[in-house]
């Protein structure tokens, strides 16, 4: 059986005639296999899931058990999907075998940058550029906002990576086109080529620590985006020590404007290129002179200090691409925001309902809580490493918390000083919050926890919230 599938549109360069193994046959794995085949390679595919192997065979790919040494010895390299551990907490057995045999390990991001680096996409008057965004929180909104601004001014732009399309599934960019990539630590940690023209670091807070062997390993994975290829411009959030350290490492001195420092909540000073937001106003300084300012308070798609940080990062990236401040400001006003990220889904009886299901860790939830006054807070799920202690200072605006999840009672007990009600499921939480909410209040889903105890993903959790709000009886 051979199923017709659209060919990958970014063929991998430099692999003609090579036998290359592909581990993990989800979206990125199959995309990589197609792009390798289009580049003249012979992919050998494997996934622990028989259904995934069947899908690959239906597309005409060879399926081979990569746990067998004789198979791994026959390949030039191994391409790994991002969800598969390659080092911590321990390497996947296939990757461990590749390490033992000296087989190079890479991922689809590395293949993309390797193929983009030779600029073989076409003949251009203005070469396409790549903007890559990483960080703990805000990278999806920042990436989408950059893409939105570029679309608003008529630039050829595509959004890919951890958001939008797979990196090898995009169309070859047009003259002067811009590819905007959101990259997770899983993706930057393993890629053997990372050469963006503009690289963005939003912030760093503890997350995925088991996968990276601790906070230092997590930061090192993010840092690779800047250290491996040397972007022409780096936009660095300096609200944490790691960001200040990274900016210091990249700059040759305080006036080196290859580094644009950004902040939310503090005024930045000095002769360099600076973008910061304070009290709802974004300000840009360059060479000791103010050159731009935006009132962010009037932009509905960017509520709260955490979105103001995203706005600073996107603004700085767009300025690095040569866009004027007023052009960027105009585009900001038409940005609708992303689903599951401070998304206003309804207003009934003077009560707003906001879906921030993407707030899966303490830092993201803290920022969501600080973005609104007078909150009915729906929270809970699979608690992450580190507990909730750091969240408590942000709960001052919470009138009451409605806790969901299989361990809702235990989760509620950690919220000291907050009135709580154990609801367990989303339908009960939404119904109870709606019944008690008064005009001027906000019902906010900001779980501060992973979704996997009850849902397949944070998206499914957010969709359930939206569904339950839609089922509320008419007022």
- Both 303 and 422 in one domain: the answer is no
- Both 356 and 383 in one domain: the answer is yes
3-state SS assignment for residue 463: helix
In a domain, 244, yes or no: yes
Asked if the model's pLDDT at residue 245 lies above 90, the reply is yes
- Both 356 and 289 in one domain: the answer is no
Asked if the model's pLDDT at residue 58 lies above 80, the reply is yes
The answer to whether 138 is annotated as binding is yes
- Both 353 and 214 in one domain: the answer is no
**Domain closes at, from 271, 305, 332:** 332
In a domain, 72, yes or no: yes
Asked if the model's pLDDT at residue 188 lies above 60, the reply is yes
Q: What is the CATH number of the domain that holds 100?
A: 3.40.50.720
- Both 224 and 283 in one domain: the answer is yes
Backbone angle region of 445, left / alpha / beta, with phi > 0 → left and psi within -120 to 50 → alpha: beta
Confidence band, pLDDT 50/70/90 cuts, at residue 279: very high
Which tens digit of pLDDT belongs to each residue from 129-177?
A: 999 999 998 999 999 999 999 999 999 999 999 887 899 999 988 889 9
φ, ψ dihedrals at 439, nearest 5°: -55, 140
Per the CB < 8 A criterion, the answer to whether 188 and 28 are in contact is no
> How far, in Å, are 306, 327, 413, 432 from residue 423 at the CA level?
28, 46, 13, 8
Domain count, the chain: 3
Which tens digit of pLDDT belongs to each residue from 331-359?
A: 999 998 888 988 889 999 999 999 999 99
The answer to whether 135 is annotated as binding is yes
The answer to whether 137 is annotated as binding is yes
**What mean pLDDT comes out for the span 244-253?**
95
Per the CB < 8 A criterion, the answer to whether 386 and 414 are in contact is no
Q: What is the CATH number of the domain that holds 353?
A: 3.90.190.20
Q: What is the CATH number of the domain that holds 309?
A: 3.40.1190.10
Rounded Cα distance, 304 and 351, in Å:
18
pLDDT for res 1: 36
In a domain, 5, yes or no: no
Which tens digit of pLDDT belongs to each residue from 291-325?
A: 999 999 989 889 888 899 999 999 999 999 999 99
Which tens digit of pLDDT belongs to each residue from 3-36?
A: 344 445 789 999 999 999 999 999 899 999 999 9
- Both 232 and 148 in one domain: the answer is yes
Per the CB < 8 A criterion, the answer to whether 306 and 137 are in contact is yes
For residue 396, what are the contacts with CB-CB under 8 A and spacing of at least 6?
Answer: none
The answer to whether 451 is annotated as binding is no
Which tens digit of pLDDT belongs to each residue from 105-119?
A: 999 999 999 998 665
- Both 130 and 160 in one domain: the answer is yes
- Both 101 and 140 in one domain: the answer is no
The answer to whether 366 is annotated as binding is no
- Both 57 and 152 in one domain: the answer is no
Look at residues 349, 395, 348, 357 and name the one whose alpha carbon lies nearest to residue 376.
395
Rounded Cα distance, 412 and 357, in Å:
18
Asked if the model's pLDDT at residue 50 lies above 50, the reply is yes
pLDDT for res 123: 74
Look up the domain containing 100 and give its range: 19-106
**What mean pLDDT comes out for the span 407-429?**
96
pLDDT for res 6: 47
**Domain closes at, from 332, 363, 398:** 332
**Domain closes at, from 332, 354, 389:** 332
- Both 327 and 356 in one domain: the answer is no
The answer to whether 342 is annotated as binding is no
The answer to whether 136 is annotated as binding is yes
Look at residues 110, 237, 248 and name the one whose alpha carbon lies nearest to residue 181.
110
In a domain, 338, yes or no: no
Q: What stretch of H or E contains 468?
A: helix 458-470
In a domain, 353, yes or no: yes
HSE-CB at 221 with a 13 A cutoff on CA atoms is: 28
In a domain, 190, yes or no: yes
- Both 182 and 247 in one domain: the answer is yes
In a domain, 11, yes or no: no
**What mean pLDDT comes out for the span 82-92?**
94
In a domain, 1, yes or no: no
Look at residues 228, 165, 221, 231 and name the one whose alpha carbon lies nearest to residue 196.
231
Q: For 74-93, give one letter per residue: b (16+ CB within 10 A) or e.
A: ebebbbbbbebebbbeebbe
Per the CB < 8 A criterion, the answer to whether 277 and 312 are in contact is yes
pLDDT for res 448: 95
- Both 147 and 178 in one domain: the answer is yes
């Amino acid at each position: 059986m051979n199923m017709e599938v659209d060919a990958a549109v970014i063929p991998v360069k430099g692999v003609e005639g090579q036998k290359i193994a592909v581990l993990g046959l989800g979206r990125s794995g199959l995309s990589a296999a197609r792009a390798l085949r289009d580049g003249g390679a012979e992919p050998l595919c494997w996934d622990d899931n028989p259904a995934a192997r069947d899908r690959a065979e239906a597309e005409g790919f060879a399926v081979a058990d990569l746990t067998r040494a004789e198979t791994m010895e026959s390949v030039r390299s191994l391409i790994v999907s991002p969800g598969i551990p390659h080092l911590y907490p321990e390497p996947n057995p296939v990757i461990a075998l590749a390490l033992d045999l000296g087989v190079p390990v890479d991922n689809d991001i590395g293949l993309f940058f390797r193929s983009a680096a030779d600029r073989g996409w076409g003949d251009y008057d203005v070469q396409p550029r790549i903007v890559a965004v990483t960080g703990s929180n805000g990278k999806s909104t920042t990436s989408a906002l950059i893409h939105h601004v570029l679309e608003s001014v008529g630039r050829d732009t595509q959004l890919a990576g951890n958001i939008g399309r797979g990196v090898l599934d995009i169309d070859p960019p047009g003259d002067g086109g811009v590819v905007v990539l959101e990259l997770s630590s899983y993706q930057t940690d393993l890629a053997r080529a990372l050469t963006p023209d503009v690289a963005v670091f939003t912030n760093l807070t503890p997350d995925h620590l088991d996968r990276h062997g601790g906070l230092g390993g997590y930061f090192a994975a993010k840092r690779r985006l800047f250290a491996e290829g040397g972007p022409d411009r780096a936009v660095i959030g300096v609200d944490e020590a790691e960001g200040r350290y990274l900016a210091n490492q990249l700059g040759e001195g305080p006036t080196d404007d290859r580094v644009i420092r950004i902040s939310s909540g503090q005024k930045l000073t000095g002769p360099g290129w600076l973008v910061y937001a304070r009290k709802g106003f974004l300000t840009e300084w360059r060479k000791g002179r103010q050159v731009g300012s935006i009132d962010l308070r009037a932009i509905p798609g960017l509520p709260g200090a955490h979105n103001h940080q995203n706005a600073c990062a996107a603004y700085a990236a767009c300025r690095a691409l040569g866009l004027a401040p007023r052009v960027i400001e105009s585009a900001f006003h038409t940005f609708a925001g992303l689903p599951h990220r401070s998304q206003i889904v309804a207003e009934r009886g003077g009560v707003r309902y906001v879906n921030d299901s993407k707030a899966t860790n303490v830092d993201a939830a803290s920022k969501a809580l600080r973005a609104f006054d007078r909150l009915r807070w729906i929270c809970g799920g699979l608690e992450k490493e580190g507990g909730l202690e750091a969240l408590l200072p942000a709960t001052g605006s919470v009138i009451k918390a409605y806790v969901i999840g299989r361990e809702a009672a235990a989760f509620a007990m950690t919220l000291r000083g907050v009135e709580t009600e154990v609801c367990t499921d989303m339908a009960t939480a939404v119904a109870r919050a709606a019944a008690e909410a008064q005009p001027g209040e906000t019902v906010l889903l900001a779980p501060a926890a992973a979704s996997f105890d009850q849902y397949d993903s944070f998206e499914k959790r957010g969709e359930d919230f939206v569904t339950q709000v839609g089922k509320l009886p008419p007022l």
